[in-house]
Amino acid sequence: MTGDGPGAGFAIRSARPEDEPELTEIQHSSAIHHATIDPDRWQARSIGESVEARRYWHAQSPRSEGIVAVGPDGKLVGMIELWLKRPRGPAGARIPRVKVDLGIAVAPEWRGRGVGTALLAAAEAWARQQGAERMTLDLDVNNAGALRLYERVGYQVEAIAMDKPIEPDDASIDAPNAVRNGDGEVVPTLVGDQVTLRPIRPSDRDALIEVLRDPTVVAIWDSRGPEHSADELLAGGPHWTVWVIEVDGEVAGSIQAAEEEDQDYRHAGIDIILSSRFQNRGLGTDAVRTLAYYLMDIRGHFRLTIDPATSNARAIRSYEKVGFKPVGVMRQYERGVDGTYHDGLLMDLVAGELT
């Protein structure tokens, strides 16, 4: 397809793997544009950081299709990337539709010359072939030029996103004393229906030791002793993040996530301990569910695992309420405080099963 708008001379085609360096450059120029018109929400990082960010997010959510505009000299002058979204799960009040989310960017010197219009038309043609009923996009409120383009080709406001600037507290991502895990990432506080999961701190050691001395925890946890376990939780490690479970401001236990970063085997594992004073109240279920949502919706994992002892019927029932399903028995899986090895139950949960 050849562009025929103002200043024609470009062609439209599907993106190819070898286009990636130029796609990154165009996306980087778009970031600079957004940082110029709305510096409170956008920042222009280096091209190297843009490469890493693009690689990361495309690994988390691979695009369904890419379309590019090619100038007369063979250089890319625009791009549009598409993600096909089919309805999943039971329909609620909102009418389920097949949609295509899009992201578009045009090289600065080619804006206003019909490139964006041609890319949008090509994207809609592709979307129709997939059975899509809607095209959707996000738009910065200050991007008036893009808004005019989208309105001209028929896009309408479907929802309004609102935000309000607030001052971060001492544990926030922007604070200098924010808690970080072994990978240097800021650990967020997660709020469930009944529990709060906050980053573990050295000052939690005594409270953790008290939890780890609880007979119901001793029976299923590290046989090397409460002090050793507390120090291990506080030390952390690569791809491992620990939260304290708080109930009404009191330390009730801890919950951990271990993340596998190999894209061929990407998943996360959850482990949890809860003092007997807080058991049988649905608090463990709420903690696991809260962390599971974070790992899937924010961290991008599509599969989670958890491995209670086969004898721990209470924990198994709790995890089943979240959506975990038994996979199989791991024989002689872990050593107990009696010195013998006990069987463990491998359970997993995949995208769409979280309840």
Task: Say how far apart CA 257 and CA 240 lie, in whole Å.
Answer: 6
Asked if residues 206 and 294 have their Cβ atoms less than 8 Å apart, the reply is no
- Could you give the count of Cα atoms lying within 13 Å of 257 in the half-sphere of its Cβ? 30
Q: What is the DSSP string of 270-309?
A: EEEEE-GGGTTSSHHHHHHHHHHHIIIIIS--SEEEE--B
How far CA 219 is from CA of 57, 185, 222, 273, in Å, comes to 41, 33, 9, 11
Are 193 and 311 in contact by the 8 Å Cβ rule? The answer is: no
Reported as a single tens digit per residue, the pLDDT across 251-287 is 999 999 999 988 889 999 999 999 999 999 999 999 9
Residue 123: name the closest of 263, 1, 298 by CA: 1
pLDDT of residue 318: 96
Q: What percent of the chain has pLDDT over 70?
A: 94
Residue pLDDT, tens place only, 35-86? 888 888 888 778 888 888 888 888 888 999 999 999 999 999 999 999 999 8
Tokens of 84: 């096909």
Segment 293-325, tens digit of pLDDT: 999 988 989 999 999 999 999 999 999 999 999
Backbone angles phi, psi at 223, to 5 degrees: -75, -5
Give the three-state DSSP class for 220: coil
What does residue 163 show for φ and ψ, rounded to 5 degrees? -140, 165
pLDDT tens-digit map of 93-112: 888 899 999 999 999 999 99
> What is the structure's pLDDT at 6?
41
pLDDT digits (tens, 9 = 90+) for 135-172: 999 999 989 989 999 999 999 998 888 888 766 555 44
Determine the residue type at 341.
Y
Residue 85 bridge partners (DSSP): 99
On the CB side of 228, CA atoms within 13 Å amount to 6
Given a contact cutoff of 8 angstroms between Cβ atoms, the answer to whether 106 and 115 are in contact is: yes
pLDDT of residue 3: 47
Residues 344, 309: contact at Cβ < 8 Å? yes
Sketch out the chain's domains with CATH numbers.
11-152 (3.40.630.30), 190-350 (3.40.630.30)
Measured distance CA(175)–CA(224) in Å, rounded: 36
Amino acid at 238: P
Total residues found in the chain within this entry: 355
Q: What is the largest CA-CA distance in the chain?
A: 80
Range among 2-16, 44-58, 222-236 with highest mean pLDDT value: 222-236
What the block records as the tokens of 95 is: 């009418």
b/e map 285-314, b = 16+ CB within 10 Å: bbbbbbbbebbbeeeebebbbbbbbbebee
Q: Is the pLDDT of residue 30 over 70?
A: yes
Pick from 253, 237, 2: nearest CA to 118: 2
3-state secondary structure 184-200: CCECCCEECCCCEEEEC
DSSP 8-state symbol, 96: P
Three-class SS state of 163: coil
